[in-house]
Structure 1
């Protein structure tokens, strides 16, 4: 087993319950951590034997472009899509942060973090 991390994927997105958030948008940061069997790719040195970081980044960027009221919703969509599209993932953790959220205070970020494991049928 091994871990692949994508840190601080930055997007400008339009998530939030307020109408203004859907019009103005704000900065977001996404961290992605996946667990996968990296033994074969460590020996073969072949991209087809591992989890493609470009594909993971593409999923995040595309899902962040679809407006959601809640960060929980977009976080779950990223998880589900990654598990559906990339069979090699055994566990995934996603953290979505809204930078400078409009919550009436001086808050650097609000972060939602969720994780799921793939359960294989024997």
Structure 2
């Protein structure tokens, strides 16, 4: 088993429950970890035998571009797409953080962390 990580994917998106959040938008940070069997890729040196992090980044950016009220919803959509499109992936953990959230205080970010394993994926 191995793990591919994408750290600090920065996107501008329009998520939130407030009308201002969805119309103005704000900065977000996404961190992603995927577990997969990487032994074959380690031997073959072939992109087809691993999880393409360019594909992972593409999924994150596309899902972040679709507005949602809740960060939980965005995170779950990212997980669903990864399992649907990348059959080698066995576990996903995604952290979606809103930078400088409008919560009436000096808060750097709020974040939601979701994880799912392939055998348990259908039960969520």
- How high is the TM-score relative to the length of structure 1? 0.97
After TM superposition, give the deviation of residue 114 of structure 1 in Å.
Answer: 0.3
Name the residue aligned to 1:6.
Answer: 6
**Pairing 1:94–2:112 present:** no
Name the residue aligned to 1:106.
Answer: 106
Name the residue aligned to 2:71.
Answer: 71
After TM superposition, give the deviation of residue 119 of structure 1 in Å.
Answer: 1.2
Write the mapping of 1:1-122 to structure 2, written as runs, cut at 5 A. Answer: 1-119=1-119
After TM superposition, give the deviation of residue 53 of structure 1 in Å.
Answer: 0.3
Q: CA RMSD in A?
A: 0.9
Q: Structure 1 residues 111-120 or 17-26, which shifts more?
A: 111-120
Following TM superposition, where does structure 1 have runs of at least 4 consecutive aligned residues deviating by more than 2 angstroms? none
* Structure 1 residues without counterparts, runs of 5 or longer: none
Could you report, residue by residue, the CA deviation over 1:9-52 in whole angstroms, capped at 9, with x for unpaired residues?
A: 00000000000001110000000001000000000000000000
- How high is the TM-score relative to the length of structure 2? 0.95
Cα distance in 1, alignment partners of residues 28 and 44 from structure 2: 36
After TM superposition, give the deviation of residue 69 of structure 1 in Å.
Answer: 0.3
* Structure 2 residues without counterparts, runs of 5 or longer: none
Cα distance in 2, alignment partners of residues 110 and 9 from structure 1: 15
Could you report, residue by residue, the CA deviation over 1:46-102 in whole angstroms, capped at 9, with x for unpaired residues?
A: 000000000000000000000000000000000001011000000000000000000
